[in-house]
A and B are shown apart, each in its own frame.
Chain A
Amino acid sequence: MADFITGVYIALFFFGIFFIVIFILLHQRNKKYLFASPKPKRYYSVSFLVPAYNEEENIESTVNSIINLNYPKEKKEIIIINDGSKDNTLKIARQLEKKYKEVKVLDKLNSGKADSLNQAIKMARGELIAVTDADSYPEKNSLLRMVGHFDNEKIAAVTSRVLVKNKNNWLGKFQVLDYSIIAWTRKLLDFVDSVYVTNGPLSIYRKSVAKKIGGFDTKNLTEDIEITWHMLSEGYQTRMSYNAIVYTTVPENLNAWIKQRVRWNLGGLQTVKKYWRSMFKKGAFGYFVIPYVTSSFALAIIGFLLFARFLWIKGNYYIYSLFYAFQGYDYWRYIEFRISITILLILGITFFILAIIYYKIGFRNSQTGNKGILKILSYSIFYRTLYVIPLLIAIYKIFKGDIRWYTK
């Protein structure tokens, strides 16, 4: 019957379909500009900040990939920030400092990534600041394809396309698909001035703006999301260079994956909480970014609750059946599966088909290339369902007031 729950389902499908239609339309309208980058009028001086905590295995490769970037040597500066590492990171960093004159080392006590970056900004000489995680490897032309955006004075940050370096197991392979969709979606958001995340593996910020807004928020677990929102809230714009590629190392087991995603969710929720008052103010940021991100969280939670309710109601019958089975009820005889055509089924199927089309186009435009329907189905049904686990843990932690575990 037409009740509250039916209304919630319809609202859920409405927003789900609405967002997917936006993305599909954005793609159709702008597909020829997906891989476009503005050619820089001049070479900006760029300071690469590489925060490192126990990164002895990766730091050298990361620095080498920055050294090898196709960009004038004299315009590059690399600051390795040793954030109180307990391994040989500092030793390797010092060796790199001796080997390359553009490399500097900032050695400090452990205080977290945001604080490390803030300290490094103070000593950076470049007009632009490029942040690169110590386990990430920018592709040769990535920098060149990003800096041209800064010719526009309104642009405060430019981010890149992150691809997966390690794809050794099922989780790595799913993350290849996942990162492809994340990057593609972010590029589509670029077309409506709504790039709301500048990723950790490679993002470039205008130093003057970063300094003006006070740098990275040390209390936020995802300082890269927070600084982007901060810049957008101040009226600046952010961009995404889809053809600027950086490879990163992704979690290889479920525990590490959940831990990473819990941090993303916690940081995202912290950021929403900090900026929700700008909702429906300040252009694309207030009218789209905040409602979109907020409703993404809300839709995920509501979707999970509805799914749990569905399982509970269906499961309840079988649990009771088992109970009565002990009293002589023939459990197996009455197991049935029936499906009726309803408005929710019609909307659900429409949403699902649109989502599949959306993923299909996304993969076609990404590292993965065209993907068969089975891979798309397993990604959308199995992997995407896993998203809810870190989200629930994050919400639980917020209610418990326990977010310290994830801070360094």
Chain B
Amino acid sequence: MVYKMSEKPRVFVESLVITLFILMIGFSWGFYFENFRTNKVAESYKNYEIEALDLKLQNYYYQIMDQSSCKEAINQNFIFADNLYDTGLEIERAEEANQITEDIIREKRRHALLKTELWLNTILLKEKCNNPFDTVVYIFAHDPKNNAKVSEQKILSNVLKSVKEIKGNKIILIPIAGDMGLGAVDLQNRIYNITYFPSIIINEEVTLEGFHTIEEIEFYLRK
């Protein structure tokens, strides 16, 4: 039987081309899914932007007018807060998954501003409507520098999620990335003396640093 060898250099070149092709397909799909996630978040931002403006105008209106419309205003705030919270979770997931694009950070910054605006709205609303609910603002680090911090934030985030599940429409939960170089957020950090991430601000009165149990957080809630 004839003992034949393959054409040697050709097989390496062909393998290289095939590998680059596979890599290219991987990158294309990767970009597609990353853009899909980012676009989804960006799309929701567009909707929330209108909602936020609407809420702000409603708040002005309620402040000028009487308290009879408080119930409606509170309801609107809760819906908006819940939507923002869900999108926040989506952003976190997208941020974890996106490995080659950075657009999601821009969306995260936008949402941090929207949430800050929501917080200010709720402060005004509470003043006008006799504190009908509790506000829990969760300030966390956008890019925690070590595993311990990542774990602590994830754990506290889970605890707050449970508090929200227990309390339902008695509290508004607003998670905000506190270190994204945004003037409005930095200002709030200074006002509430936030020097440690993660921290919780309850009803603009109490600041808790780091991990706390459900019961400990509930202790500071009024509703």
Contact residues of A with B, CB < 8 Å?
Answer: 1-2, 6, 10, 13-14, 17-18, 21-22, 25-26, 29-30, 33, 36-39, 149, 191-193, 284, 288, 312-313, 316-317, 319-321, 324, 327-330, 333-334, 338, 340-344, 346-347, 350
Contact = CB atoms under 8 A, between A and B. Distances in A.
Interface of B: 1-6, 8, 11-12, 14-16, 18-19, 22-23, 25-27, 29-31, 33-34, 37, 93-102, 105, 147-148, 150-152, 154-155, 158-159, 162, 211, 213-216
B155 A320 contact: yes
A26 B6 contact: yes
Contacts of A193: 5, 8
B158 A316 contact: no
A36 B3 contact: yes
Given A17-B22, A328-B213, A313 B147 contact: yes
A327 B213 contact: yes
A284 B29 contact: no
B6 A350 contact: no
B11 A350 contact: no
A76 B102 CA distance: 70
Nearest to B8: A192
Name the prevailing secondary structure of the A interface residues. helix
Contacts of B22: 17, 21, 347, 350
A177 B97 CA distance: 36
Given A21-B18, A33-B4, A343-B27, A1 B99 contact: yes
A10 to B, nearest CB: 8
B99 A25 contact: no
A2 B93 contact: no
| Nearest 10 A/B pairs, CB to CB | A343-B30, A340-B97, A320-B151, A328-B213, A316-B147, A18-B19, A21-B15, A22-B15, A334-B158, A317-B151
B155 A343 contact: no
A313 B96 CA distance: 13
A39 B101 CA distance: 59
Contact of A36 (B2, B101, B102, B216): B2
Contact of A343 (B8, B29, B94, B102): B29
A37 to B, nearest CB: 7
A264 B194 CA distance: 57
A44 B97 CA distance: 63
Given A1-B98, A343-B26, A347-B23, A317 B5 contact: no
